[in-house]
Amino acid sequence: MSERLIPYQPIDLAEPAQLVAAIRKRRGGQFINLDRMLLHSVPIAEGWNHFIGEIRNNLSLDPKLRELAMCGVAVLNGAEYEFFHHAPPFRAAGGTEAQVDALRLIGQADFPVEIFSGVEQDAVALTFQMTRNIKVDPDLMRRLQSTLGSTDTVELVSVIAAYNMVSRFLIALDVTPEDHAPQ
Predicted confidence (pLDDT) per residue in 94-128, tens digit: 999 999 999 999 999 999 999 999 999 999 999 99
Say if 71 falls within a structural domain. yes
Q: What is the dihedral of CA 141, 67, 28, 178, to 10 degrees?
A: -130
Whether pLDDT at 171 is above 70? yes
pLDDT band of residue 2 (cuts 50, 70, 90) is: low
Q: Same structural domain for residues 88 and 159?
A: yes
DSSP summary character for residue 179: S
How far is the C-alpha of 81 from the C-alpha of 87, rounded, in Å? Answer: 10
How far is the C-alpha of 38 from the C-alpha of 9, rounded, in Å? Answer: 9
Burial 58-92 (b: 16+ CB within 10 A, else e): ebebbbbbbbbbbbbbbbbbebebbbbbbbebbee
Q: Same structural domain for residues 160 and 73?
A: yes
Q: Comparing 180 with 152, which gets the higher pLDDT? A: 152
pTM of the predicted structure, to 2 decimals:
0.92
Whether pLDDT at 1 is above 50? no
Q: Same structural domain for residues 49 and 97?
A: no
pLDDT (tens digit, 9 = 90+) per residue, 20-62? 999 999 888 888 999 999 999 999 999 999 999 999 999 999 9
State how many domains the chain has: 2
- Give the domain extent around 49: 17-57
Say if 42 falls within a structural domain. yes
Q: Same structural domain for residues 52 and 104?
A: no
